[in-house]
Amino acid sequence: MAERITGHTELIGLMAYPIRHSSSPAMQNEAFSKMGFDYAYLAFEVDNSNLEDAVQSIRALKMRGSNVSMPNKTVVHKYLDKLSPAAELTGAVNTIVNDNGILTGHITDGTGFMAALRDNEIDIKGKKITIVGAGGAATAIEIQSALDGVAEMSVFNRKDEFWERAERNVKAINEKTNCNAKLFDLDNLEMLKSEIAASCLFVNATGMGMKPLEGQSYIPDSSYLRPDLVVADVVYSPAETALLKMAKEIGCKCMNGFGMMLFQGSAAFELWTGKPMPIEYMKETLGIKY
Ligand code: NAD
């Protein structure tokens, strides 16, 4: 790394708090080195209190851009000049591109999830899916899969502080895309069972299955699943959640959250450089399996 940094090297940031645990710097810097792009990617501890100054520094330092994560994803749009259609619909931004001082916000979590499905040869266009969640990850997947041509979507969530967001997501999908979306209470397990039975893909897009809920699932038993169902989980730590373990045991095709993580990074990389990440090299170098 030290050998390749010169007076010409441009900076790309990651603005979030907490952020020291992130694997994005290792992933992005490895990809820049491999592809010969003269960028350096660094993580900065930024929360809502210093976000405006941090975004202004992208312009001042002529940075190529930045990733943005919690707690800034749904706030940062205020300080940007333009938004992509998916960022506009989800109300969230995870990637900023600086084109000569004009800052555009994108969200690549949803495109990342869709690219991971394609990489696993899973096609959901024109089909029905069931997804649990209404937070950041879920919203991005719901909006992007509707934009990409999913025909029907059943969304489940608890009646917690995310319920209103679930209502907004379903409304936006029904009004702005050709997908027919419906919202259900996650407490209604009979309904969850029948909606999964009618779907080709079931997605957990909540933190269920990772600490402090590691080893747990809201799916009571494997009678909710069937071997020709694809089961995806946004969680990647652990790599195999209780849900994926149950799904694998009955023969479902499974995908953990590493694919979404890798491909959201690849989509951001492509927005900054114009070229996709060397995906097979990255999988091998980082030991990513999904
Ligand atoms: P969030 O806080 O925005 O949303 C949390 C969601 O979980 C809500 O829908 C909430 O209702 C639901 N929830 C919380 N506790 C629950 C419970 N006990 N039972 C059922 N539902 C419950 O979180 P987020 O940013 O969307 O992250 C959710 C998960 O997605 C996390 O595990 C995160 O690590 C993962 N994630 C993965 C990627 C990736 O690239 N793979 C990207 C972003 C987030």
From CA 233, how far away is CA 236, in angstroms rounded?
8
Q: Does residue 220 have a cis peptide bond before it, meaning omega lies within 30 degrees of 0?
A: no
Closest ligand 1 atom to Cα of 136: 26
From CA 251, how far away is CA 198, in angstroms rounded?
18
Closest ligand 1 atom to Cα of 139: 26
Asked about 289 being catalytic, the answer comes back as no
Give me ligand 1 centre to Cα 92, in Å: 15
Give me ligand 1 centre to Cα 242, in Å: 15
* pLDDT value for 287: 83
Give me ligand 1 centre to Cα 135, in Å: 6
- For residue 252, give the 3-state DSSP assignment: coil
Residues with CB under 6 A from ligand 1: 109, 133-138, 157-158, 160, 162, 186, 206-208, 210, 213, 218, 234-236, 257, 260-261, 264
From CA 31, how far away is CA 49, in angstroms rounded?
31
* pLDDT value for 4: 86
272 contacts 64 by C-beta, under 8 angstroms = yes
Residue 127: which of 200, 192, 181, 29 has the closest Cα? Answer: 200
Its sign, for the CA torsion 6, 267, 240, 218, is positive
| Angle, vertex CA 233, rays to CA 120 and CA 213, nearest 5 | 160
Residue 127: which of 204, 51, 228 has the closest Cα? Answer: 228
Residue 130: which of 119, 122, 142 has the closest Cα? Answer: 142
Burial class (CB within 10 angstroms; exposed 0-12, middle 13-18, buried 19+) of 8: exposed
pLDDT digits (tens, 9 = 90+) for 175-206: 999 999 999 999 999 999 999 999 999 999 99
pLDDT digits (tens, 9 = 90+) for 96-115: 999 999 999 999 999 999 99
Name the stretches of the chain with pLDDT < 50.
none
Contacts of 82 (CB under 8 A, 6+ apart): 102, 103, 104, 105
* pLDDT value for 1: 66
Q: How far is CA 28 from CA 25, 220, 279, in A?
A: 5, 39, 12
Closest ligand 1 atom to Cα of 210: 32
Which is catalytic among the residues 62, 73, 159, 245?
73
The DSSP 8-state label assigned to residue 77 in this structure reads G
- For residue 92, give the 3-state DSSP assignment: coil
Structural domains in the chain?
2-107+261-286 (3.40.50.10860), 110-256 (3.40.50.720)
Amino acid (one-letter) located at 58: I
Contacts of 209 (CB under 8 A, 6+ apart): 215, 216, 217, 233, 235, 238, 241, 242, 243, 244
